[in-house]
Amino acid sequence: MEGPPHTIDTNNINNSHDNYKDIVVTPWEVFGDLEDKMYTKLIEKFGTQAITHDLIEKFKKLIGEIHPLIKSQYFFSHRDLDWLLTKYENGDPFYLYTGRGPSGFVHLGHILPWLFTKYLQDKFGSKLLFQLTDDEKFLYNPGATRETISEYTSENILDIIAVGFNPNLTRIIIDTKHINYLYPLATEIAKKITFSTAKAVFGFTNTTNIGMIGFPPIQAAPCFLPSLIEKKPTPVLIPAAIDQDPYWRITRDIAAKLGFYKPAQIHSKFLPSLARISKMSSSRPETAIFTTDEPEIVEKKVLSSFTGGQATVSLQKKLGGNADICPVYGYLKYFFDNEKESLERYIRCKSGNLLCGECKSDLANNTKTFIIDFKHKREKAKDKVKDFMFDEKFSS
């Protein structure tokens, strides 16, 4: 069995290093300026790889094109993606694995990596496991009740299905419901990870509840489940925002000991909130656009967004705007503009020939159209939930 190169990924973190003190990125907290430099530092801090020109060419060779989210470097980092693509090239298909912590409604920041995951599924014909960590969110959020988390779980499933994943190739795993499929693997994983490693990787302290301390193997288990389903070591690719990387580090370090391949990853950046304070977050609902928002609310949120514009029209015309820090520009770039449109917008903004009102109105109109369509798909999803639930029949 030819696995990815041997590295110890948990050796690579040094949270106290001075160079990194302005960034905090854990699965539960993200602080930082979200500028390009921060992401370069994260690659160093986490010991991941940048997506190189060669790797992009390899993608192109296999599927004939490069996805805009790779071109724009929204997906900017990886682990062993080159290895995984070589395996695929040599006839070894891979599974996709991603997930969602159901702590609230789904917003556009969540949808973006899911759209990309669907694209990978379509292009590579991959099976996909989609995990909902209802246990994690219940344990982590002091105010959460089982009832509220269970309600968000049901709501979030509609969003996942609405993204358009292939029902024949996709299964959703709800931790508390499908625990029987995860638990045997989780205990194998848990046995190989010491508290001292978990503390260093996740920052657990003496006041962390023991549910949280025991949780990481549950998120690790779907990395190996495909090998059990297929009855042979099976490559897995995880498309996710880079804040989930700590889970994959511990998983990768014990994979070979259990006879599995290390899961490969492709890491995305974070979609900034409309206020541009850290990433878009469910805990500041006024600065995030939810798939459940009514179109008028979407419009209101977009029109009151922070922008990279100057304080007055005449200053804007004179000095130009700062598209690099502008969430409105960012959303248009990642969701709606094509490469050429985005570049033109950038140049017009920088040179003072574009005012924020125009971008806001473009974004409001595009987002409203998107949300109206997505709501229809969410409605239709209600009849499909059963087809997407994990069961033991999900094998080739």
Residues that bind ligand TRP (CB under 6 A): 27, 97-101, 131, 133, 136, 219, 238, 240, 244
In sequence order, which residues have a C-beta less than 8 Å from that of residue 112 and are 6 or more positions away? 69, 74, 268, 271, 334, 335
Q: How far is the CB of 215 from ligand TRP (least distance, A)?
A: 9
Q: Are 237 and 266 in contact (CB under 8 A)?
A: yes
Would you say 183 or 336 has its CB closer to ligand TRP? 183
| 29-31 vs 75-79, strand pairing mode | unpaired
Would you say 239 or 327 has its CB closer to ligand TRP? 239
In sequence order, which residues have a C-beta less than 8 Å from that of residue 314 and are 6 or more positions away? none
Would you say 157 or 323 has its CB closer to ligand TRP? 157
Block residue for tokens 């090998």: 227
Q: How far is the CB of 209 from ligand TRP (least distance, A)?
A: 16
Q: How far is the CB of 102 from ligand TRP (least distance, A)?
A: 8
Angstrom distance (rounded) from CA 186 to CA 208? 20
The one-letter code for the residue type at 115 is L
Q: How far is the CB of 101 from ligand TRP (least distance, A)?
A: 3
Would you say 117 or 310 has its CB closer to ligand TRP? 117
The alpha helices in the chain, defined as continuous H runs, are 36-46, 53-63, 68-71, 81-89, 108-124, 134-140, 146-162, 179-191, 195-202, 210-214, 216-220, 225-230, 245-255, 295-303, 313-319, 327-331, 339-350, 356-381, 385-388
The alpha helices in 76-125, defined as continuous H runs, are 81-89, 108-124
Would you say 133 or 310 has its CB closer to ligand TRP? 133
Angstrom distance (rounded) from CA 164 to CA 2? 33
Q: How far is the CB of 149 from ligand TRP (least distance, A)?
A: 12
Q: How far is the CB of 396 from ligand TRP (least distance, A)?
A: 22
Would you say 136 or 337 has its CB closer to ligand TRP? 136
Would you say 84 or 240 has its CB closer to ligand TRP? 240
Would you say 121 or 219 has its CB closer to ligand TRP? 219
Q: How far is the CB of 318 from ligand TRP (least distance, A)?
A: 43
Report which of 211, 134, 225 is spatially closest to residue 180, judged by C-alpha positions. 225
Angstrom distance (rounded) from CA 259 to CA 267? 25
Q: How far is the CB of 110 from ligand TRP (least distance, A)?
A: 8
Tokens encoding 324:
């690099």
